[in-house]
A and B are shown apart, each in its own frame.
Chain A
């Protein structure tokens, strides 16, 4: 922290609040679902899409007490991140995989309960935190109902959507969700992971978790292609999208490819009225961690320059999937000082409108 100075304001755009156990949401469920989850095997989403035993950096450090899940303890998050790193505002991304629940009514009940739990156990207890609304995206009507129920709450700043979805987010079925998000001044956060029940590649399922992990970036890329070519930003000019834990250094390659192809094929998608890379710079932001940095500072500088904007990156720790003892540790080495300040505070503040 020292080299940044104490006056440096910081917004952390990717913190994970984790449900201590499926039973935690019991008191927040309607009576029918309290009874049903008690008597049946349906307790909520199946196991997390994260690998069961880690591999988290310094896992023992972020585990509150033996047996408790990393990210499930507010006090530890306060100590390690908010106080420890001097975070002014922290955005919670509750990666509760409600999209994996096939029963749409159950999914809606679970999403609602998790959101009420987020309000009472996190947002109301810690004013530095903001939340992401969990929505049952497998049923757009029910998802919109959840936004209408709770989207006005000042603690929620965005919708949480897993990047792995059953259908691409640009497709028409999701448009009512974007209308509701824009109406409630909520951004859309596409986050690493998801349990859609379909394979994570056009060639089926990989053998290893490391493949799913490394391959998540190309799913983010497919979602960006979808959002842009299907005309979402033309229809919803105020829509703001954040890609969280996506990796960032692939962005120039996608800008170039999509711009080039648009010149050849735009006749098919006349609603795409400007260069795809312009839509990206206008509407899409990226959380910092993991960054997937190139091996040299010179290449880092090239990649940042190729993005064509210094407003695209928002600081994040991805706690507890990553654990940093200083803010500097979380920043790629060799960042220009001016950009560092924009990443740490200004970009997120402008994008979310956090300090009014």
Chain B
């Protein structure tokens, strides 16, 4: 039965094959991950680990676990924690050919770098053993201890030989801007293994979550994600990352994309005005965006008029760089047969739903 589904490339609902580039699996309990920790780090995790990382930084979700109401497994546990239920509700339901796991379980940004490294190693082993091994349609993302560049590179080196890891997962709000030097060893490792870096929605790094302080409401945290992605792109480009690492590939996950064309125009103008400050940036910033960046679709943009979606894609000129994503099991799930405007040409729908990702990731 499972074999039939894997071989059927085209989903009946979409008429095209579907590859989902943003699926969130989770451990059913803290214990599920702890069993992958050494006795020393297990003791540490039990004694000091489980606390608010930056007390006072939380915006409690409007929907419990930010999840679809129907995604709570009937047998108990958190949404995304039950493989058979995820298979039935997502992979089988939509006949998804491949799914990329992006577990958001908070390993990478822990303040204690050795603890972060141990936790990341546990998360990565758990992904392979509990998810990718039993379900061949799934692929994993390496969760690195990203705030410690050398340790992150070590974890990437450890995981990368397993081809079932298809990218490296970062979270949008990092302790420093991602162009800065402390992250460079991580990028060296990514390029060494030809693995893309996915930057996913979310995170808290101890700074206010806007450039002007703390908002009051969850909607501001949630709607404000493009304002967390933009400074990261600005930083990576103006630090000259793509001159230093021309092969570095960045996937923007769940950040939206309507803001990206205007950001390119602004960066290009800024560069024309001030390029003498950053002589290591050799080309207009928009060229790096179109050479080194890719984008996942969810949450898909919803302009006031459907024709404006087409205008938006024309402005971006990155049609071969969009990957479809559902964001399962989160409340703002994009359904494969409904998320893309029907006005898009069939060939483009086909490319976005699966073919772009198939050509990009090592499935």
Residues of A within 8 A of B (CB): 55, 57, 163-172, 194, 196, 198-211, 213-215, 217-219, 221-223, 225-226, 229-230, 247, 249-250, 252-262, 264-269, 277, 290, 292-295, 299, 302-303, 306, 308
Contacts and interface: CB of A to CB of B under 8 A. Distances in A.
A209 B271 CA distance: 11
A202 B210 contact: yes
12 contacts: A167-B212, A168-B214, A204-B207, A207-B238, A209-B274, A214-B267, A215-B211, A218-B226, A229-B215, A247-B266, A252-B258, A302-B311
B277 A302 contact: no
A55 B273 contact: yes
Give the residue among B180, B205, B261, B262 with the most A Cβ atoms within 10 A. Answer: B262
B180 A207 contact: yes
B301 to A, nearest CB: 6
B62 A253 contact: no
Contacts of B209: 202
A293 B272 CA distance: 13
A209 B270 CA distance: 10
Given A225-B215, A250-B262, A206 B177 contact: yes
Contacts of B211: 164, 199-202, 215, 218-219, 222
B293 to A, nearest CB: 16
Nearest to B286: A295
Contacts of A267: 62
B208 A252 contact: no
Contact of A292 (B175, B226, B235, B266): B266
The 4 closest A-B pairs by CB, nearest first: A253-B258, A201-B231, A222-B210, A219-B211
Given A214-B270, A257-B258, A290-B269, A207 B239 contact: yes
A218 B227 contact: yes
A269 B219 contact: yes
Interface in B309-363: 311, 314-315, 331-332
B61 to A, nearest CB: 10
B302 interface: yes
B232 interface: yes
Contacts of A211: 177, 231, 234-235, 238
A166 B215 contact: no
A199 B173 CA distance: 13
Contacts of A203: 172-178, 205, 207, 228, 231-232, 235
Given A201-B177, A250-B262, A256-B301, A210 B274 contact: yes
A202 B208 contact: yes
A218 B230 contact: yes
B263 interface: yes
Interface string B215-251: 1111110111011101110110011000000000000
A308 B271 CA distance: 30
Given A211-B231, A214-B238, A290-B269, A255 B304 contact: yes
Contact of A302 (B228, B239, B315): B315
A340 B301 CA distance: 30
Contacts of A200: 211, 231
Contacts, number: 241
Nearest to B315: A299
Interface residues of B, number: 66
A202 B219 contact: no
B308 interface: yes
B218 A202 contact: no
B259 A168 contact: no
A295 B303 contact: no
Contact of A210 (B208, B217, B259, B271): B271
B269 A217 contact: no
A210 B234 CA distance: 9
B179 interface: yes
A165 B180 CA distance: 24
A203 to B, nearest CB: 5
Given A203-B228, A203-B231, A299-B315, A249 B265 contact: yes
A209 B277 contact: yes
A250 B223 contact: no
Contacts of A302: 308, 311, 315
Nearest to B310: A302
B278 interface: yes
Give the residue among B62, B238, B276 with the most A Cβ atoms within 10 A. Answer: B238
A217 B228 contact: no
A253 B262 contact: yes
B213 interface: yes
A206 B234 contact: yes
